Each structure stands twice: as structure tokens, then as C-alpha cells.
Amino acid sequence: MKTKVVTLVYYHPMARFFCAIEDAWKQLDPNVEFLHLAVFPSAWAYFRLHGRATKALSWKAFLTRSKDRSTDPDVISALIRFHSSDPGMTDPQRDALNRQARAMLEVSRSVIEQFDPDVAILSGDTRLPAEVLMRTLADSRATTWFFEQGPYRTTLLDREGVNANCSFRTALAYLPAAGPELVVPNQRPRWNNRLYSMVDKFIVAQSRLTGLLPPDLRPYRLEKCPSSRYKALVRKSDTVSDRRKTLLLAMQVPEDANNIYHNPLQLSDAGLIEFVMSGIPPDWKVVVREHPLYRRKYSAAFYALVERLERIELSGRSLSDDIARTCITVTVNSLTGLDAFAAGHRVIVLGESFYDHLNGILPARTPAELGHLVEHPTDRSKPAPNMLLGALVDRYFFPGHFTDVDLGYTRGIAARVMESLRVETR
């Protein structure tokens, strides 16, 4: 009996990754059929040019006149939560998202009913296409897996979700620091093809004239801090001296699921600074580190606080430099927390993440709790960080990244999913 696998794929590097999984699966068991649901045009184009079965999910929904009026508005709001968090979104754009959600529900139900998959592998567990498919697949016989990139250029494949939704999060409290010792991989060759990237850029650009763009493909709108002002802020701030009383504040990606879904205090970028400054002792300084890909892209209120508060430095340095000149790292749930933990920092998390239960990671939910952890290090025995992180990566992640040139590790992913199917049918 043929096994059927449906996947949800966003961009062309992910399409190449899922083609590798399909090829690896077929080497292990040729009696399998894949259907790839593509979100962005680059992924659809990659699949088509490489002879794979694919459907353009977002475009198909966009071109469908939905007849659905029965789905509860609260359900629709939950489905579009990721996209509607864009601070620049207008009411007409929100209405278009609502219509897209209803149409995508209809399209997804039709696709899943017709294809009748045994397995679903979804990229992430947020954004409208993933939210819709999760809801649709819940009424099917399919076993669902979730894919996400992991720390240190690894890959996560989990049955419950990604980020703070992963199945092993609470179990990490009992993870022994048994190694192997964490080895951060050298820069492996990465694959990309700018022609596919240009397809996505062209589609977005033409929509400014034609209006033809699925609402869930609309880019997040982030205003940039003026270059001259930004350079002045970085120069003004470069004054840190005593690392024993200096804290590293690792900012979130503004449009990332971790910041939208796993930020229980709902801290904005400026709110995060205010929270930290209200909790730490008055003789402490703070190095604020933006995500490298989002420098100058935080809110005007964020840069106004950096300019006004004397105890804040806006970093223009490398991550290794920032870790070396500070002793504590605070973040909502950024992976910078893991890098700092490996370097011997005390790490305090204000939100939810897959690593927040690791022995030595310290949670805080109020400024008072933060201040106490800064002034009074815990007596909790802290294992060797690199042995603990090595055990984490070895036990729960695949050793490879979806942008690697060499995707040979996808054979292990295919084998893992196939084995789980065999176990479930026994």
C-alpha cells in the first residue's frame, strides 16, 4: 500500500530540502507519493522545475471565492495572529487576511480530503498556512510532524511543534550533562539561487501596481532608523567598562513567531528595555544587541530610549565581543541566550523557548525577579554548559541545516518518520 506524504513549504531553499527528503524516502521505500504545498512562488517554481507534485496553496486560496461564513470569527483571528501583528497593517488589509483565512480553510480541506495523506510535515507551527493545515489535519488520519531550523545549524523535527511547543521542552530539566561536548560547526557551504529569490521579489513588487498578492505573503513593514542618527547612537554608547556590572540584552526578531507567540509578557522592543531597566540595580549598565539582520529596524520608541537612557549602550560589535564584556544575558527567548550560556554567562529568559528548562537557565516574569537574579546568583549547581548543550543537540536535533549544500542528512529524517509509521501500525 502506497504511503502518502504532504508537506508545507515556504521558500526555494526549503523546497530543495523537501525534495531531498522525498528522494531519500524513495531510496528507502519507492512506494511513496509526495504532495508539496508551496506558499511563496519561489518554492512552487522549484518544485515544478524539478518535476515534483505541488500546489500553490496561498495563491490557490487567493483566487478562490470563499463561501465559508460559518467559521467563528475568533477562530479566524487565531489563524491570522502572526500576520495581523504587523503594526503597519490597515483595516482593509486585515479584512483581506480574514477572507484569505476562510478561503484557505476551504482549499486545505479539499486538498487533504482528496490526497488523504498518511504523513504531514509542516514548516513551523505559526503563520496562516501552517495554522490552517494544523486545523485541517486534526480531522484526518495523518500523522503530523513539524520542521524548523535548530541551533548551531541543525534541524528540528518534532511531533508536537517547534520553538516552545516542542515535545521535549520540559524534559530538558532532567537532561544530564553527559555530552558529547558541544562542537560549533565550521561554516559549511550554503546553497542559494538568486533567480528564485528574484521571483518572490518580482511578485511582491508587481503587487504594488496590481494589488495581486495573497495577503499572507505581504511583507512585514518595518521603518528604518535614519543612518546618521543610528551611527551617532552607536558612537555615543561605546562606553562600557566593568563587565561585572554589565548586562547583555539580546533583542528579538520583531516579526518572528517567538516574539509574537512565546512572549507571555507581550513585551515590545521598547517595553523590553523598560522592563530590564526597572529591575536591575542602579549601578548596572546594559549593552543592547539588535538581531544582526534587523539593525536599524526596531521601533522609534526603542531608539528614543537608547538615546535618552545613559546606562544603555547600543552595540555595534560582534556577538563574541558583547559576550566577553558582559556577565549576564537577558532575553525573551533569543538563541543568543544559548551562545551566552555556552560562554559561561548567567542567562535569564523572560519568555518561553525550547531551552528554557535547561539546568542553569533562569526564568523571570517580573522586574523584581529579574533584579533578584542579577544581584543574587542562585545556588543551583550548574553543569558544564558545553556538555549539556552537546547532549541537547545530540539527542534532539539532526546534524544539518536546510541551506547546506550537502543534504545527505535528510536520509536520517526520512528514516525517522518511516520508523514512526511502522511503530504506529504495529
User: pLDDT per residue over 6-57, tens digit each?
Assistant: 999 999 999 999 999 999 999 999 999 999 999 999 999 999 999 999 999 9
Residues 6 or more apart whose CB falls under 8 angstroms from that of 201 comprise none
User: pLDDT per residue over 243-271, tens digit each?
Assistant: 999 999 999 998 899 999 999 999 999 99
Question: Rounded distance, CA 228 to CA 219, Å?
Answer: 25
With beta carbons less than 8 A apart as the criterion, state whether 96 and 120 touch: no
With beta carbons less than 8 A apart as the criterion, state whether 269 and 259 touch: no
Residue 312's φ and ψ, nearest 5 degrees, are -110, 135
Closest CA to 339 of 292, 286, 305, 303: 292
- How far out from the chain centre does Cα 328 lie? 24
Any idea what DSSP says for residue 11? S
* Mean pLDDT value across the chain: 94
Any idea what DSSP says for residue 153? T
Question: Rounded distance, CA 14 to CA 5, Å?
Answer: 16
Any idea what DSSP says for residue 2? -
What pLDDT is recorded for position 344? 92
Enumerate the β-bridge partners of residue 3: 32
Please give the radius of gyration of the chain, using alpha carbons only, rounded to the nearest integer.
23
User: pLDDT per residue over 125-167, tens digit each?
Assistant: 999 999 999 999 999 999 999 999 999 999 999 999 999 999 9
Q: Which domains does the chain have, with CATH numbers?
A: 4-153+400-424 (3.40.50), 227-390 (3.40.50.2000)
Alpha helices in 117-193 (DSSP H): 127-137
Helix axes 12-28 and 41-49, enclosed angle (nearest 10)? 40
| Secondary structure element (H or E) that encloses residue 246, with its range | strand 246-250
With beta carbons less than 8 A apart as the criterion, state whether 179 and 390 touch: yes
